[in-house]
Structure 1
Amino acid sequence: MNTSRRQFLGQTGALTASALAASLGRWGIESASAQAPTDYKALVCVFLFGGNDSNNMVIPYDDYGSYAAVRTNVNIPQAQLLQISPPRAGATFGLHPSFAAIKPLFDTGKLAVICNSGPLLAPITQADYRAGNFRPSNLFSHNDQQSAWQGLLDGMAVRSGWGGRMSDRIDAVNAGATVPTVVSAAGSTLMTQGLSVGPFVIPQTGGVTLTGAGTDTLGRVRADGVRRLLGAPSGNSIVDKAANVLTTALTTADAINPILNATSPAIATAFTGLTTSIANQLKQVARLIEGRSVLGAKRQFFFVSLGGFDTHSNELFVQGNLLGQLAPALKAFYDATVALGVSEKVTAFTMSDFSRTFVFNSTFGTDHAWGAHHLVLGGAVRGGDFYGRYPTLAVRGPDDAGNNGAWIPTTAVDQIGATLATWLGVSSADLGYIFPNIGRFATADLGFIS
């Protein structure tokens, strides 16, 4: 049976490579404010899907009694906490015991904590919240709050995320690169979608290939046939546009596959013994960073993820297991950047749907909340400290949105993102395009990175 070019492109949903071409626009956008840098920098977003309970990730040590009195069935024993003394907080806190791998990075100033952060339209008080002033829409909903953290466009049909919009503005500095500015090892997500720039999606292991196009003779014949079919004119501009995007994806795959499939002693050593999904994703990112000179990119944005944090039941076990996967993977990734000589040029940060209620439920879990603590990791981070205000852990207290310990954020996602974007090289003139609420906050730079 003969297959026309149009029919073929209509069937490419079965092709792995088609997922890489996330938008029908070309990879880049020209930005008048973009200036070609001579160095390399990258941001790595680590999204914790489901809503990580950061109340059990960063715990008051000095005031442990107040914490344990409320969380009687979901508390971490004080003796197990990894003690830290952030100067800005003026008190001793404890990290979750599963963070043993990265606690030394806090001690040596490579890891910082952003306190009580979340999607905000403007600074909001408890009185504002109760009056309905400046209250973001659809709080406590997984899909909506994932969209809020990633898109920052409240109450709208969001088509782009701030990682993608950031890449819209910096993509021009990567002119001539053989890899796009935005790369995801966790599928195509809102965070990575710009208005003109789309993500290039890579698998968690190995290179990027067409389904059925292996290295055997038949696989090579299939791949060659696909490329010849893509090169044939269709007479339809939309079909031709789609073909060009897929062709670009295949060309990019040809460039990065030798790097993704290579054996790197430095990266292999850093990730020794780690086989979890999050470790594999970060290992792929490390490989592309190692190949930065060959690929030609000067600025990049990467996305990885870890799911399972919706701990409505059995939280202590479930979260402990997940954080036990996250921490060693982050440590391995940081060690890899050190070995590659780019630890001060690569910054990783966490995000999640929301934190969880301070009050536990009847199934030894917690429910959906709002403000959350997050991590920023890298050689350029001013670590060993807290940024933003740690909330008052009091049910119905001054930071509670209701009566179960859902903290009202005091640090906006826009501020976290603007701080990271400025470090990456985004101009102040472009911050409003990327972070639509940033002008309503007193500062766009939280100071956690140099």
Structure 2
Amino acid sequence: MTLSRRDFVRLTAGTGAAAALAQLGRTAAVAAPSGSYRAMVGIFLYGGNDGWNMVVPTDDRHATYQAARGAVALPRNTLTPLTNASYALHPAMAALRPVWDEGALSLVLNTGTLFAPLTKATYLSRPDLRPSNLMSHSDEQAHWQGLRARDSASDGFMGRMADRMPGGRLPPLISLSGSTLALIGKTAVPLVLPASGLPGRAGYSARDTAKNLATALLADSEGGPVMDGVKTTLRDTFEQADLANSVLSGGNSVARHFVDANGRALTSDIAAQLLGTAKMIEARGTLGHSRQTFLLSMATFDHHANQVAGSPIAGDHANQLGALADAMAAFHRAMKALGVGANVTTFTMSDFGRTYASNAQNGTDHAWGNNHLVMGGDVAKGGIFGTYPDPVLGGADDITNEGRFIPGIAQEEYLGAIARWHGVSNADLPYVFPNWQTWSTAGRGPLPLFR
């Protein structure tokens, strides 16, 4: 996914906390369904996660699944079953079983990029209705983050949401996974932070350092209101950086939840990102945030080879899903301990799904529709949304003979439900989702993901 120089400058401006200045004083155009705090936490699984092995049918479809998937198929007796459901999670994701039993985890089946509703017949006969450049990493990442299925995107859905969000002492749009298209708004600037906190500065005084820097930079100037404003901006920037650093450097009360089933501290990158997110949520009062939007990520899920190793339940994909599940479960425990379990929703995104059929290298190739997870205390208990595709290779939902399934749910129906829960008003949904009209009429609309 390519960012323009202008977009790169806008995003990197947020890394030093100067972005906070652009957010101060922003008025709220966001609805408040309950008048309470809300946070949405998106985790982008870069490379194209194999959602067909993340969520597996356990009924009669499992035989077809196993025959079609070949070497990467997970035996039924190894799966993590979900109570009162005909689906299971990957064996490595056992940490999320208690979250499901609690009623705080939902499945979204076969969702992906769509410009308009498609069947296999219309896909074949109407190329003008297909999303552009399907199954390309950069294009599909842009489709998910910019939500323009047939046009290039210069801004992202999280950035556009932030355009309509109230501010605080720091921007409420926060990334702990770098700068990317999803964060770009028309006016909003995100705060981009490392998960472990900003570099410390021993003996540092925000006001004195800003004053000295400003004095050095402006030594030859005549001063005046403009130069005084520059000095104020420099001072405020350092103070905002100190605030973010103090938040991310603390948070011991949430850190204790980030352990595995044996009590060992979680050390994965996604665990660090979710721990940083938990700390920012814990500090929401100090930061002045009634709404927070977070973007996190994992890489790389592009398993053309060696998706499994030795056995179907081992290998790179199992390791990644295990790290994801452990970190998500720990984050959920932390949110409950903070008393905001029902106020925080975590959800997954990815470039695209993988082919249902495996290849000769024990891997899978680029495809289209995919399965995703939504977690939080306010999600529908035992929720399973969408329809699992016809698993027959070359069948009614497969545009090739390798299991590239046409999505049954558009990204707008999936992400739009979360945005509306988060507080985006009905009037602002077409602004956040440029193709909203297509997915909010003729019987379509946001999924009923929440209670």
Is the TM-score greater than 0.5? yes
Shift in Å at residue 56 of structure 1? 0.7
Does 1:385 pair with 2:383?
A: yes
What is the distance in 2 between the residues matched to 1:49 and 1:66?
A: 28
1:71 aligned counterpart, secondary structure: helix
Instruction: Structure 1 unaligned segments of length 5 or more: list them.
Output: 1-12
1:313 counterpart residue number = 305
2:448 counterpart residue number = 447
2:293 aligned counterpart, secondary structure: strand
1:148 aligned counterpart, secondary structure: helix
1:288-319 superposed Cα distances (whole Å, 9 cap, x missing partner):
11111111110010011110100000112111
Shift in Å at residue 19 of structure 1? 3.1
Counterparts of residues 125-274 of structure 1 (less than 5 Å): 125-131=119-125, 132-171=127-166, 174=167, 177-206=168-197, 208-209=198-199, 214-215=201-202, 225-226=212-213, 228=215, 249-271=237-259, 273-274=265-266
2:39 counterpart residue number = 42
1:282 counterpart residue number = 274
1:61 counterpart residue number = 58
Shift in Å at residue 256 of structure 1? 2.4
Question: Against the structure 1 CA distance between its residues 102 and 239, is the aligned structure 2 distance closer, same or farther, given a 3 Å change threshold?
Answer: farther
What is the distance in 2 between the residues matched to 1:136 and 1:356?
A: 17
Q: Which of 323, 326, 331 pairs up with 1:325?
A: 323
Question: Against the structure 1 CA distance between its residues 195 and 248, is the aligned structure 2 distance closer, same or farther, given a 3 Å change threshold?
Answer: farther
What is the distance in 2 between the residues matched to 1:113 and 1:374?
A: 6
What is the distance in 2 between the residues matched to 1:226 and 1:167?
A: 31
Does 1:105 pair with 2:102?
A: no
2:155 aligned counterpart, secondary structure: coil
2:335 aligned counterpart, secondary structure: helix
2:371 aligned counterpart, secondary structure: strand
Question: Against the structure 1 CA distance between its residues 17 and 437, is the aligned structure 2 distance closer, same or farther, given a 3 Å change threshold?
Answer: closer
Q: Is the 8 A contact 1:399 1:408 kept in 2?
A: yes
Does 1:300 pair with 2:292?
A: yes
Question: Against the structure 1 CA distance between its residues 262 and 368, is the aligned structure 2 distance closer, same or farther, given a 3 Å change threshold?
Answer: same
Counterparts of residues 424-443 of structure 1 (less than 5 Å): 424-441=422-439, 442-443=443-444
The TM-score with structure 2 as length reference comes to 0.86
Shift in Å at residue 156 of structure 1? 3.0
What is the distance in 2 between the residues matched to 1:245 and 1:218?
A: 15
The code of the aligned residue for 2:173 comes to: V
What is the distance in 2 between the residues matched to 1:228 and 1:98?
A: 57
What is the distance in 1 between the residues matched to 2:222 and 2:329?
A: 50
What is the distance in 1 between the residues matched to 2:425 and 2:283?
A: 27
1:123-144 superposed Cα distances (whole Å, 9 cap, x missing partner):
1111111121410001000011
Shift in Å at residue 189 of structure 1? 1.2
Shift in Å at residue 268 of structure 1? 2.2
Q: Is the 8 A contact 1:74 1:365 kept in 2?
A: yes
What is the distance in 1 between the residues matched to 2:301 and 2:222?
A: 47
What is the distance in 2 between the residues matched to 1:240 and 1:140?
A: 52
What is the distance in 2 between the residues matched to 1:413 and 1:246?
A: 40
Question: Against the structure 1 CA distance between its residues 128 and 243, is the aligned structure 2 distance closer, same or farther, given a 3 Å change threshold?
Answer: farther
1:315 aligned counterpart, secondary structure: coil
1:426 aligned counterpart, secondary structure: coil
What is the distance in 2 between the residues matched to 1:245 and 1:368?
A: 47
CA RMSD of aligned residues (A): 3.0
The TM-score with structure 1 as length reference comes to 0.86
The code of the aligned residue for 1:304 comes to: L
Q: Which of 347, 367, 370 pairs up with 2:368?
A: 370
Q: Is the 8 A contact 1:22 1:199 kept in 2?
A: no
2:340 aligned counterpart, secondary structure: coil
Question: Against the structure 1 CA distance between its residues 370 and 385, is the aligned structure 2 distance closer, same or farther, given a 3 Å change threshold?
Answer: same
Question: Against the structure 1 CA distance between its residues 86 and 368, is the aligned structure 2 distance closer, same or farther, given a 3 Å change threshold?
Answer: farther
Question: Against the structure 1 CA distance between its residues 381 and 243, is the aligned structure 2 distance closer, same or farther, given a 3 Å change threshold?
Answer: farther
The code of the aligned residue for 2:40 comes to: L
Shift in Å at residue 437 of structure 1? 1.6
The code of the aligned residue for 1:76 comes to: L
The code of the aligned residue for 2:75 comes to: P
What is the distance in 2 between the residues matched to 1:266 and 1:58?
A: 29
What is the distance in 1 between the residues matched to 2:437 and 2:228?
A: 41
What is the distance in 2 between the residues matched to 1:260 and 1:201?
A: 13
What is the distance in 2 between the residues matched to 1:401 and 1:144?
A: 19
Figure out how many residues of one structure are paired with residues of the other and give that number: 423
What is the distance in 2 between the residues matched to 1:116 and 1:238?
A: 55
